[in-house]
Homo-oligomer: A and B are copies of this chain.
Amino acid sequence: MVAASSAKDRLKRRLFGNPLPRDQEEARTVPSFQALPILSSDALSSVAYATDAALGVLILAGSGALSFSLPITITIVALIAIVVFSYRQTITAYPQGGGAYVVGRANLGTLASLVAAASLLIDYVLTAAVSLMAGTQALSSLWPWLLNWQVLIALVLLVLVGWANLRGVREAGRLFALPTYAFVVMVMVLAVAGLQNLIFSHGFSPDPPPLVKAVEPLGLFLILRAFSSGCSAMTGIEAIANGVQLFRSPSAQRARNTLLVMGLLLASMFLAVSGLGFMYGVAPNPDVTVMAQLGMRVFGPNTPLLWVLQITTLLILMLAANTAFADFPRLSALLARDNFLPRQMAWVGDRLVFQNGIKLLLVATAGIILICQGNTTVAVNLYAVGVFLAFTLSQAGMVVHWCRERGVGWLTHALMNGIGSTSTCLVLVVIVISKFAEGAWSVVIAIPLLVLLLARTRMRYRQVYAELDLKPGESSLVQVHQRSEPIGNISIVWIPAWNRPTIDALRYAATVSDRVIGVWVRPEDGDPELIRREWQHSVGDDPNLELQILESPFSSLINPFADFVDAIEERDPAQTLTIVMPMAIPRYRADSLLLNQRAINMRAALDQRQNRVFTMVRYYLPA
């Protein structure tokens, strides 16, 4: 039989490309201006939703409260500065890439590293979901008739990103550069044009936002909630520190500079959007994003510039989702290599990507999009917890690192990371408390559960491997039977009906064993005489082949068979016993629902009974 590629194989190649040879996986570096977009689309794109998130909380206290967005933005910008400087130090210390999991494992021990890993895994899922939902909102802000299809659009975008990653996104550099820089430029253009408009027509006096009545009193707690929502602007800052290997030599130096540039871009864009929002009196609107509202006022509705703004926003948000699709599988593979996740998460597929991690992320992200029904606010509430937990742990790990190393200027370094860790920890506490009732509880529960799962998986692996491995000195000799003596094997053949597969199975069993017992369990409407006649006709009176007809008092046909096998096994435990099942393999996969269902159930039942050898004799239906 030739190894003809099946229809399924061909479809797979058409969709995902031909298998790539192993040696095509190589280290790769790119110039800094390409590394910036590859590593920062997540961070920069958060400008598209962070202002909305903060304003969405403030508006609850009425339109007057919207002015609090300014101090909140400034505080977050200060935080961005602290975290950027903290991570510049991480780059110096871990030029091979210092993700929170790696830094935590090296400096804080297994538990802390698992907590960091769990929060990162959750965050990658939320990054993908929030980015895709925000991208959808960028579109529906332009074309309101899309509002009813948000969930569907987000899912379609998700499938697109997932598919690209299953193919393997190799040509990343240029692909990423264009949308990212286009987005940065468009936000700058928006800022400059907006300011110019203000100067010439308004004389710098802010527009009042449309009057909205308060539904909650304005208090410190509400402001902290708004701040927590705005902190979603800070996701993804760590990416450059994780990806130092991508830079050309001297990579650490280049990465540090790039991180600084990224921080400046992020801070100024966030300031621009929030500031303009305040000056133009923009009120948050779940149907039209703040950025789209600004674009409409500054560029005018239905102008090409507005379209470009919104579409580059969509594109950079898709790149942000794509980042999650690179990071999640990579982290899961790291965890799988350490046996914290099933090993198949570390398998590299035909296209040299971690396809199982990608698939898992696809499913999880789709789940979040469906649960949130395309609404980013819910997801943003969950978002910041994991981000800041990872920040805190990674910076704390750095403090331990400096204190251990005691190199030149270690105290300054430790102090700087200490400030980073302390402030992000403080923010973490604020976020957990202020957002707890609005969904953060679920992350607070999910992280320890995930940590438990990771730890238990490794424990189980250790136990299972210990049981599988040969102990030194254990007898491991493979004995070969002598051709002269009976080979000592009984086959029990399950007879579901008298047809070709059954005959095939009986023939095979007769070939490999001394004694064959064919077993037929009578279904409610079965006629034993018929089977006896068929057996007589095909098998005859060979003493080594024997027909056994079993009655079933209950509706299950499987238990009588399994009991019969158990009884034979008990009579002579030393005997090798092979259970032979005829299986008709249909030509079309859809047909498999029609066939072999009893056999599949039987296999499951015998798995439970600890029967050892199970042989399927397959009869292929002609094409």
**Interface residue ranges, A against B (CB under 8 Å):** 1-3, 6, 8-9, 19-22, 342-344, 347-350, 352, 373, 457, 460-461, 464, 467-470, 476-481, 483, 486-489, 497-501, 503, 506-508, 510-514, 524, 537-540, 542, 544-545, 552-556, 562-563, 566, 569-570, 573, 576, 578, 584-586, 588, 590-591, 593-595, 597, 607-622
Which B residues lie within 8 Å of A488 (CB)? 511
Chain B CB within 10 A, most for which of A468, A586, A617, A621 = A468
- Nearest B residue to A621 by beta-carbon distance? B467
Closest B residue to A457 using CB positions: B594
- Give A544 to B470 CA distance when docked, in angstroms: 24
Bound-state CA distance A537–B623 (Å) is 46
Nearest CB of B to A541, in Å = 11
- Tell me, in angstroms, the Cα distance from A41 to B533 when the chains sit together: 51
Chain B residues, Cβ within 8 Å of A1: 566, 569-570, 573, 609-611
Known contacts A19-B555, A593-B342; decide if A506 and B478 are in contact (CB<8 Å).
yes
Chain B residue at smallest Cβ distance from A468: B499
Docked pose: A569 CA to B569 CA in angstroms: 33
**Min C-beta distance of A576 to chain B, whole Å:** 5
Q: Is the CB of B510 within 8 A of A478?
A: yes
- Show 20 A/B contacts (Cβ-Cβ < 8 Å), sorted by A: A19-B556, A21-B553, A343-B594, A349-B555, A350-B555, A464-B591, A468-B499, A468-B584, A469-B500, A478-B506, A478-B542, A480-B510, A487-B512, A489-B511, A508-B613, A512-B513, A585-B607, A611-B618, A613-B615, A615-B615
Min CB distance, A446 to chain B, in Å?
18
8 Å CB contact of A586 from B464, B497, B498, B594? B464
Provide the bound-state CA to CA distance between A344 and B457, in Å.
36
Q: Please state if A566 and B22 are interface contacts (CB–CB under 8 Å).
A: no
Contacts of A544 in B (CB 8 A): 480
- Give Cα distance in the complex from A423 to B407, angstroms: 92
Known interface pairs A538-B476, A609-B1; A584-B554 also in contact (CB < 8 Å): no
What is the CA–CA distance of A383 and B422 in the complex, to the nearest angstrom? 59
Query: Does the CB pair B621–A613 fall under 8 Å?
Result: no
Residue of B nearest to A469 (CB): B499
List 4 additional A-B contacts (Cβ < 8 Å) besides A461-B594, A487-B512: A3-B609, A468-B584, A483-B486, A511-B576
Whether the Cβ atoms of A608 and B510 lie closer than 8 Å is: no
Q: Report chain B residues within 8 Å CB of A476.
A: 503, 537-538
In the complex, what distance in Å separates the CA atom of A342 from the CA atom of B597?
9
Q: Top 9 closest A-B pairs, CB basis?
A: A615-B615, A468-B499, A512-B512, A476-B538, A19-B554, A344-B597, A348-B555, A478-B506, A480-B510
Distance to closest chain B CB from A535 (angstroms): 9
